[in-house]
Amino acid sequence: MAAHTMQNLYLLIALAPLAGAVAAGLFCRLIPRWLAHTAAILGVAVSFAGSIIVFQDVQAGHSFNGNVYTWLTSGGYSFHVGFLIDSLSVLMMLVVTFVSLMVHIYTIGYMRDDPGYNRFFSYISLFTFSMLMLVMANNFMQLFFGWEAVGLVSYLLIGFWYTRPSAIFANMKAFLANRVGDFGFILGIGLVLAHVGSLDYKTVFERAPELASATINLWGAADWSLLSVTCICLFIGAMGKSAQVPLHVWLPDSMEGPTPISALIHAATMVTAGIFMVSRMSPLFELSTTALSFVMVIGAITALFMGFLGIIQNDIKRVVAYSTLSQLGYMTVALGASAYSVAIFHLMTHAFFKALLFLGAGSVIIGMHHDQDIRNMGGLRKYMPITWMTFLVGSLALIGTPFFSGFYSKDSIIEAVKLSNIPGAGFAYVAVLAGVFITAFYSFRLYFLVFHGAERFGKEHAEHDAHSEEHHGLAHGQKPHESPWVVTMPLILLAIPSVLIGFFTIEPLLIGEYFKGVIAVDAVAHPVMAEYAKEFHGAVAMALHAAVSPVFWLALAGVALSWFFYMQRPDLPAAIARRFSGINTLLENKYYFDKFNDLALARGARLLGEGFWKFGDVAVIDGIVNGAARLVARLSALLRPVQTGYVYHYAFTMIIGLMLLLAVWVAPLSISK
Amino acid sequence: MSYPLLSLAIWVPVAAGIIVLATGSDRNAGLARTLALAGAMLGLLVTLPLYFGFNATTADMQLEEIHAWIPNFNIRYHLGVDGISVLFVILNSFITVLVVLAGWVAIKNKVAQYNAAFLIMSGLMNGIFSALDGMLFYVFFEASLIPLYLIIGVWGGPNRVYAAIKFFLYTLLGSLLFLVALIYLFLASGSFSILVWHGLSLDASVQIWLFLAFLMAFAVKVPMFPVHTWLPDAHVEAPTGGSVVLAAIALKLGAYGFLRFSLPIAPDAAHELTWLMIALSLIAVVYIGFVALAQKDMKKLVAYSSISHMGFVTLGFFMLSSLSVEGAIVQMISHGFVSAAMFLCIGVLYDRMHSRQIADYGGVVNTMPKFAALFMLFAMANAGLPATSGFVGEFMVILSAVKFNFWIGFAAASTMIIGAAYTLWMYKRVIFGAIANEHVRALTDISRREFLILALLALCVLGMGLYPQPFTEVMHVSVENLLKHVALPKY
Looking at the predicted structure, is the pLDDT value of residue A525 above 90?
Answer: no
Which of A72, A162, A191 is nearest residue B365 as measured by Cβ atoms? Answer: A162
Which of the residue ranges A92-101, A253-262, A410-419, B52-61 would you say has the lowest mean pLDDT?
B52-61
**Which residues of chain A from 151 to 170 reach within 8 Å of chain B, CB to CB?**
152, 156, 159, 162-163, 165, 168-169
Who has greater pLDDT, B31 or A665?
B31
- Which residue type does A394 have? G
Phi (first) and psi of residue B65, to 5 degrees: -130, 125
Residues 6+ apart with CB under 8 A from A139: A79, A80, A82, A199, A200, A201
- Which residue type does A650 have? Y
Q: Cβ(A562)–Cβ(A444) under 8 Å?
A: yes
Mean pLDDT of the B150-177 span: 83
Is A223 touching B (CB cutoff 8 A)?
no
Cβ neighbours around A600 below 10 Å, total: 10
Mutate to test the interface with B, among A154, A179, A223, A607 (most CBs of B within 10 A): A179
How many Å apart are CA A328 and CA A148, to the nearest integer?
A: 19
How many Å apart are CA B350 and CA B352, to the nearest integer?
A: 5
pLDDT in tens, A535-570: 888 899 999 988 888 899 999 999 999 999 988 888
Which of B365, B401, B416 is nearest residue A179 as measured by Cβ atoms? Answer: B416
Which of A156, A172, A187 is nearest residue B425 as measured by Cβ atoms? Answer: A172
Which of the residue ranges A78-87, A474-483, B213-222, B400-409 would you say has the lowest mean pLDDT?
A474-483
Is A180 touching B (CB cutoff 8 A)?
yes
What CA dihedral angle connects A7, A10, A14 and A15, to 10 degrees?
40
| pLDDT of res. A575 | 86
Beta bridge partners of B65: B79
Residue in B199, B192, B32 with CA at minimum distance from that of residue B118: B32
How many Å apart are CA A175 and CA B209, to the nearest integer?
A: 46
Q: Report in angstroms the alpha-carbon separations of A252 from A397, A560, A594, B189.
A: 22, 27, 11, 69
Residue in B2, B8, B490, B486 with CA at minimum distance from that of residue B262: B486
Residue in B365, B309, B296 with CA at minimum distance from that of residue B338: B309
Looking at the predicted structure, is the pLDDT value of residue A666 above 80?
Answer: no
Looking at the predicted structure, is the pLDDT value of residue B488 above 80?
Answer: no
Residue in A485, A478, A482 with CA at minimum distance from that of residue A367: A482
| pLDDT of res. A523 | 85
Looking at the predicted structure, is the pLDDT value of residue A464 above 60?
Answer: no
Q: Report in angstroms the alpha-carbon separations of B278 from A83, B308, B315, B409, B419.
A: 37, 13, 5, 11, 19
Chain A, nearest residue to B394 by Cα: A186
Report the percent of chain B where pLDDT is more than 70: 99
Q: Cβ(B306)–Cβ(B332) under 8 Å?
A: no
Report the percent of chain A where pLDDT is more than 70: 97
Q: Residue A268 in 3-state DSSP?
A: helix
Residues 6+ apart with CB under 8 A from B271: B320, B486
Q: Residue B215 in 3-state DSSP?
A: helix
Mean pLDDT of the B36-42 span: 94
Is A68 touching B (CB cutoff 8 A)?
no
How many Å apart are CA A37 and CA A335, to the nearest integer?
A: 38
- CA terminus-to-terminus distance, chain A: 110
Q: Which residues of A touch B396 (CB under 8 A)?
A: 72, 74
What is residue B489's DSSP assignment?
A: -
Is A145 touching B (CB cutoff 8 A)?
yes
How many Å apart are CA A85 and CA A63, to the nearest integer?
A: 5
Tell me the nearest-neighbour CA distance from A233 into chain B, angstroms.
Answer: 11
What is residue A592's DSSP assignment?
A: G
Rounded to 5, what percent of chain A is helix, strand, coil?
Answer: 75, 5, 20
How many Å apart are CA A408 and CA A341, to the nearest integer?
A: 12
How many Å apart are CA A289 and CA A292, to the nearest integer?
A: 5
Cβ neighbours around A610 below 10 Å, total: 15
pLDDT in tens, B456-472: 999 999 999 999 999 99
Looking at the predicted structure, is the pLDDT value of residue A530 above 80?
Answer: yes
- Contact flag A73-B399 (C-beta cutoff 8 Å): no
Mean pLDDT of the A48-65 span: 93
| pLDDT of res. A348 | 95
CB-based burial label for B209 (10 Å; 0-12, 13-18, 19+):
middle
How many Å apart are CA B269 and CA A331, to the nearest integer?
A: 53
Mean pLDDT of the B260-283 span: 93
Is A186 touching B (CB cutoff 8 A)?
yes
Q: Cβ(B402)–Cβ(A194) under 8 Å?
A: yes
Tell me the nearest-neighbour CA distance from A604 into chain B, angstroms.
Answer: 10
Tell me the nearest-neighbour CA distance from A603 into chain B, angstroms.
Answer: 10
Mean pLDDT of the B78-105 span: 93
Chain B, nearest residue to A469 by Cα: B434
Q: Cβ(A65)–Cβ(A202) under 8 Å?
A: yes
Chain A, nearest residue to B366 by Cα: A163
Beta bridge partners of A84: A65
- Contact flag A613-B398 (C-beta cutoff 8 Å): no
Which of the residue ranges A43-57, A582-596, B77-91 would you say has the lowest mean pLDDT?
A582-596
Q: Residue A84 in 3-state DSSP?
A: strand
What is the sign, positive or negative, of the torsion defined by CA atoms of A162, A165, A170, A172? positive
Q: Residue B64 in 3-state DSSP?
A: strand
Q: What own/partner pairs with CB < 8 Å and gap ≥ 24 does B35-40 have?
A: B35/B115, B36/B100, B36/B115, B36/B116, B36/B118, B36/B119, B37/B97, B37/B100, B37/B101, B39/B12, B39/B13, B39/B15, B39/B119, B40/B13, B40/B16, B40/B93, B40/B96, B40/B97, B40/B99, B40/B100, B40/B118, B40/B119, B40/B122
pTM of the model: 0.92
Confidence of residue A466 (pLDDT cuts 50, 70, 90): very low
Which of the residue ranges A57-61, A662-666, B122-126 would you say has the lowest mean pLDDT?
A662-666
Is A191 touching B (CB cutoff 8 A)?
yes
How many Å apart are CA A212 and CA A671, to the nearest integer?
A: 83
Task: Specify whether the backbone of A446 is left (phi greater than 0), alpha (psi in -120 to 50) or beta.
Answer: alpha
Cβ neighbours around A369 below 10 Å, total: 16
Which of the residue ranges A230-239, A664-673, B114-123 would you say has the lowest mean pLDDT?
A664-673
DSSP string computed for A32-59:
-HHHHHHHHHHHHHHHHHHHHHHHHHHH
- Contact flag B409-A187 (C-beta cutoff 8 Å): yes
pLDDT in tens, A634-659: 888 888 877 777 888 888 888 888 88
Confidence of residue A468 (pLDDT cuts 50, 70, 90): very low
Looking at the predicted structure, is the pLDDT value of residue B2 above 70?
Answer: no
Looking at the predicted structure, is the pLDDT value of residue B241 above 80?
Answer: yes
Confidence of residue B485 (pLDDT cuts 50, 70, 90): confident
Confidence of residue B206 (pLDDT cuts 50, 70, 90): very high
3-state secondary structure A408-431: HHHHHHHHHHHHCCCCCHHHHHHH
Which of B170, B324, B386 is nearest residue A148 as measured by Cβ atoms? Answer: B386
Q: Where are the beta strands (DSSP E) in A518-571?
A: none
Q: Residue A82 in 3-state DSSP?
A: strand
| pLDDT of res. B173 | 79
| pLDDT of res. A471 | 53
| pLDDT of res. B490 | 64
- Contact flag B472-A72 (C-beta cutoff 8 Å): yes
Q: Which residues of A touch B410 (CB under 8 A)?
A: 187
Between β-strands B75-81 and B62-70, what pairing exists: parallel, antiparallel or unpaired? antiparallel
Who has greater pLDDT, A459 or A161?
A161
Confidence of residue A182 (pLDDT cuts 50, 70, 90): very high
In angstroms, how far is CA A370 from the centroid of its own chain? 25
Is A645 touching B (CB cutoff 8 A)?
no
C-alpha R_g of chain B? 21
Looking at the predicted structure, is the pLDDT value of residue A470 above 70?
Answer: no
Question: Where do the H-state alpha helices sit in A337-383?
Answer: 340-367
- Contact flag B169-A628 (C-beta cutoff 8 Å): yes
Angle between helices B369-382 and B322-353 (to 10 degrees): 150
Cβ neighbours around A572 below 10 Å, total: 12
Q: Which residues of B touch A470 (CB under 8 A)?
A: none
Mutate to test the interface with A, among B416, B424, B440, B467 (most CBs of A within 10 A): B416
Q: Which residues of B touch A190 (CB under 8 A)?
A: 398-399, 401-403, 409, 413
| pLDDT of res. A469 | 43
Chain B, nearest residue to A194 by Cα: B403
DSSP string computed for B303-354:
HHHHHHHHHHHHHHHHTT-HHHHHHHHHHHHHHHHHHHHHHHHHHHHHHHHS
Tell me the nearest-neighbour CA distance from B27 into chain A, angstroms.
Answer: 40
How many Å apart are CA A297 and CA B402, to the nearest integer?
A: 27
Which of the residue ranges A107-116, A500-509, B152-161 would you say has the lowest mean pLDDT?
B152-161
Instruction: Count A/B contacts: CB-CB distance under 8 Å.
Output: 149
Looking at the predicted structure, is the pLDDT value of residue A668 above 60?
Answer: yes
Angle at A354 between CA A547 and CA A450, to 5 degrees: 85
How many Å apart are CA A289 and CA A526, to the nearest integer?
A: 9
Mean pLDDT of the B297-323 span: 95
How many Å apart are CA A330 and CA A303, to the nearest integer?
A: 6
Mean pLDDT of the A497-511 span: 92
Is A22 touching B (CB cutoff 8 A)?
no
Looking at the predicted structure, is the pLDDT value of residue A673 above 80?
Answer: no
Confidence of residue B128 (pLDDT cuts 50, 70, 90): very high
| pLDDT of res. A68 | 92
Angle at B95 between CA B94 and CA B99, to 5 degrees: 125
Looking at the predicted structure, is the pLDDT value of residue A462 above 50?
Answer: no
pLDDT in tens, A283-329: 999 999 999 999 999 999 999 999 999 888 999 999 999 999 999 99
Is A28 touching B (CB cutoff 8 A)?
no
Helix (H) or strand (E) holding B111: helix B111-130
**Which residues of chain A from 416 to 475 reach within 8 Å of chain B, CB to CB?**
467
Mean pLDDT of the B318-337 span: 95
Complex ipTM tops 0.90: yes
- Maximum distance among all Cα pairs of chain B, rounded to whole angstroms: 69
DSSP string computed for B374-438:
HHHHHHHHHTT-TTSHHHHHHHHHHHHHHHH-HHHHHHHHTHHHHHHHHHHHHHHHHTSSS--SH
